[in-house]
């Protein structure tokens, strides 16, 4: 069997894994192809630029195998880097979330963004923004978001915040209005845990309690549908219509949790029975700042964050069809994240996907 192998007269780009990453190459790889011969070894004939030569099979081919594996890992990593959106549970989800730098998760289906980070361009076209807490990597882009919508003549957005920061957010915008001498128009809603807000006639949102180092809350978006009450199921159409016209409420309102977003939080939210809807939403978007043994779960708790090990430990409570992991520490590479995700995937029936936009490959 003959194998064709591309050769280079000069070393390849060091930022890209070479097909031959090992150091000790035959001299033919540093110049023009020549015929290699030696004694007392088992050889495999190869064909390079139509010129046959012989190499030691036992070590050379194993190096080729490792190099091909590295090339494949690199291609997978690059594909993860350039991916701009993720389809989960029937929803297209995009954005980025890097611990301590910025978080903004966009769901165009609901015209909303969870947190606003540094206000990525795509977020400007969302009508609703849900702020989980007041750290800058989650709220810093808010003035830019409002100003940009005004610049593009988009309608004033609706911004949801924990009630305890509403007054400070208003002051923040007053400062920007004074400094920039511009109008910044928006509706600011202080939405507390347990309260419900109608986004449209078939969609509502409710906050749920989370635990961070400052006041915080997550959000669950529900779909709304009406179902005929059991006592009226046996009735015919005309009878049902008559009851309806008489003012009788003939339907029950059914709320189905579609998407839950935690923001920054410890894993304690998973143990709160009042947060059951978040754990059974079709898509659970949860943080996983720490992924490995270099940091303990106690370290994560003290900083108001979640360790992947804690999600694994409490995986039995998750009923979601899909889990989007976010907010990884910037110390991790895409390969680190992918390896860690496999540990959780083996413990849950849900599809587990990491949001790796903005993270670097170990090969880059």
What pLDDT does 44 receive? Answer: 45
Q: Tell me the pLDDT tens digit for each residue of 229-257.
A: 887 788 778 777 877 778 878 778 899 99
What pLDDT does 74 receive? Answer: 58
Which portions of the chain are predicted below pLDDT 70?
1-61, 64, 67-68, 70-84
What pLDDT does 243 receive? Answer: 76
Please work out, in degrees rounded to the nearest 5, the angle formed at the alpha carbon of residue 267 by the alpha carbons of 325 and 89: 35
Q: Is 306 helix (H, G, I), strand (E, B) or coil?
A: coil
Question: What Å distances lie between residue 132 and 115, 123, 172, CA to CA?
Answer: 6, 16, 17
Q: Are 96 and 116 in contact (CB under 8 A)?
A: no
Q: Tell me the pLDDT tens digit for each residue of 167-204.
A: 999 999 999 999 999 999 999 999 999 999 999 999 99
What pLDDT does 240 receive? Answer: 75
What pLDDT does 168 receive? Answer: 98
User: What distance in Å separates the CA atoms of residue 209 and residue 198, rounded to the nearest whole number?
Assistant: 19
């Amino acid at each position: 069997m003959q194998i064709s192998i591309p050769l280079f007269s000069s070393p390849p780009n060091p930022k890209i894994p070479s097909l031959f990453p090992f150091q000790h190459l035959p001299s033919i790889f540093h110049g023009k192809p020549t015929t290699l011969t030696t004694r007392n070894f088992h050889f495999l004939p190869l064909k390079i630029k139509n010129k046959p030569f012989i190499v030691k099979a036992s070590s050379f081919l194993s190096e080729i195998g490792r190099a091909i594996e590295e090339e494949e890992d690199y291609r997978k990593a690059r594909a993860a880097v350039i991916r701009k959106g993720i389809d989960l549970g029937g929803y297209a989800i995009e954005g980025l979330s890097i611990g301590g730098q910025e978080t903004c998760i966009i769901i165009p289906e609901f015209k909303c963004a969870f947190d606003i980070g540094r206000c990525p361009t795509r977020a400007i076209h969302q009508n609703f923004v849900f702020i989980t807490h007041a750290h800058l990597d989650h709220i810093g882009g808010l003035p830019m978001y409002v100003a940009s919508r005004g610049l593009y003549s988009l309608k004033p957005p609706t911004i949801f915040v924990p009630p305890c920061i509403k007054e400070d957010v208003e002051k923040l915008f007053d400062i920007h209005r004074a400094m920039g001498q511009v109008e910044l128009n928006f509706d600011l809603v202080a939405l507390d845990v347990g309260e419900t807000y109608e986004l449209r006639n078939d969609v509502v949102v409710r906050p749920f309690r989370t635990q961070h180092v400052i006041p915080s809350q997550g959000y669950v978006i529900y779909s709304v549908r009406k179902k005929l009450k059991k006592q009226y199921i046996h009735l015919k159409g005309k009878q049902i219509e008559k009851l309806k016209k008489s003012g009788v409420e003939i339907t029950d309102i059914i709320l189905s949790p579609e998407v839950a977003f935690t923001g920054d939080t410890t894993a304690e939210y998973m143990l709160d029975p009042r947060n059951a809807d978040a754990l059974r939403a079709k898509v659970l978007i949860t943080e996983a700042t720490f992924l490995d043994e270099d940091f303990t779960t106690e370290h994560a708790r003290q900083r108001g964050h979640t360790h992947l090990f804690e999600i694994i430990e409490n995986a039995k409570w998750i009923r979601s069809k899909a889990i989007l992991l976010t907010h990884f520490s910037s110390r991790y590479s895409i390969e680190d994240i992918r390896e860690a995700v496999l540990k959780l995937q083996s413990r849950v029936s849900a599809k587990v996907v990491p949001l790796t936009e903005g993270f670097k490959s170990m090969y880059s």
